[in-house]
Amino acid sequence: MELLTIGRNFYPGRKVLIYYNENENFNTHIDFKERFKLICVEKGNGIVNLNGKREILLAPCILCLNEKDEIKLELYNSLKVSSIYFHPAILNEALTFDNLTTCVGLSLTEIQDCAILNPFIIRDEGYNGFLNIDFLEMQRINQLMELINIEINEQNNDLWPCKTRSHLYQFLIQIETLYYKPVSNIDSKVDLKTSDADDIILYLHNNYDKKITILSVTTELHINRNTLRERFYKATGYSIIKYLNKLRVQRATLFLRDKDLLVTEVCEKAGFSDITNFGRIFKKYVGCSPSKYRSQYKV
């Protein structure tokens, strides 16, 4: 399968090195060794294996994968995912996978075009391609995804290759901003040491906005209390309550960026029982009150 778009009415036969996939299914049979892969997770959650390490997938988020990354979807629930495959040459014909990191022989403009791809290239202990985004940012990203989709599928005029590149460039600028200025300062990453607690994790992610007790989890998953505690701690290094509080606070930081939501509404949407408890736990993890956080981060 060629991950590109071929011109039809305008520029018949022309190959443009970008491919839009409306329903990404993490198909490991699709070889994208010569493409960057931009994955937008709009809804749902799951667990993926990224380069041999299991990661929790929780919408809304985006994944910026390079040509060497290998990803496989292991478990999921109600996922809605779209993706864009592209070669760096669509931004600048001088760019190749070999000179992106070395910048050998590139002009200043070409080096600047390389820099916008850093979220796909750079990998370190704190970043492996995952970027959390807030719900309003997802709306803007969906709009850009749809604009790219329209251009490469409808090809309504002879400007469609230029418009496609323009929309992609705008998209990458937004991603670069998110990379250097994350929407949440709560680290939601968890090192999944085993798969024993996968069903528990998905249950918490599906129901964090509802009342959850140890009894409700044991009843739903048909497991006794001691086994539940042991399996979850062995897999994550957290107690269920601590993990749930951290998850809820992380979601609250995303909700707080929506200026139309009252703090009391954020409290409810994040799954906290009352505003006092919400404020106390939020401050414990973030270091300030929800209102103070909103004043610093709202857009």
Q: Is the pLDDT of residue 3 over 60?
A: yes
Contacts of 268 by beta carbon, 8 Å cutoff, 6+ apart:
209
Average pLDDT value for the chain: 90
pLDDT at 186 over 90: no
pLDDT band at 154 (very low <50, low <70, confident <90, very high): very high
Residue 299 above 60 pLDDT?
Answer: no
Q: Give pLDDT tens digits for 92-148.
A: 999 999 888 888 888 888 888 888 999 999 988 888 999 988 888 899 999 999 999
Quote the CA–CA distance of 144 and 147 in Å, as a whole number.
Answer: 5
pTM: 0.88
Does residue 268 or residue 111 have the better pLDDT?
268
Helix or strand holding residue 147 (H, E):
helix 135-154
Question: CA–CA separation, 54 vs 240, rounded Å?
Answer: 19
User: In the beta sheet, which residues pair with residue 131?
Assistant: 62
Check: CB of residue 81 under 8 Å from CB of residue 41: yes
Asked if 233 contacts 294 with a C-beta cutoff of 8 angstroms, the reply is no
Determine contact, residues 135/62, Cβ cutoff 8 Å: no
Q: What is the pLDDT of residue 184?
A: 64
Q: Which domains does the chain have, with CATH numbers?
A: 5-180 (2.60.120), 198-297 (1.10.10.60)
CA dihedral 283, 137, 64, 118 (to 10 degrees): -80
CA-CA distances (angstroms) from residue 97 to 102, 153, 251? 10, 26, 36
**Residues 283, 288, 290, 293: is their CA dihedral positive or negative?**
negative
Q: What span, in angstroms and rounded, lies between the C-alpha atoms of 148 and 174?
A: 15
For range 63-73, the mean pLDDT = 92
Question: Which of 135, 128, 146 lies closest to 190, judged by CA?
Answer: 128
C-alpha–C-alpha distance, residues 254 and 286, integer Å = 13
The winner for highest mean pLDDT among 29-33, 177-181, 210-214 is: 210-214
Name the amino acid, one letter, at 284: K
Cα 115 to Cα 92: distance, rounded to the nearest angstrom: 12
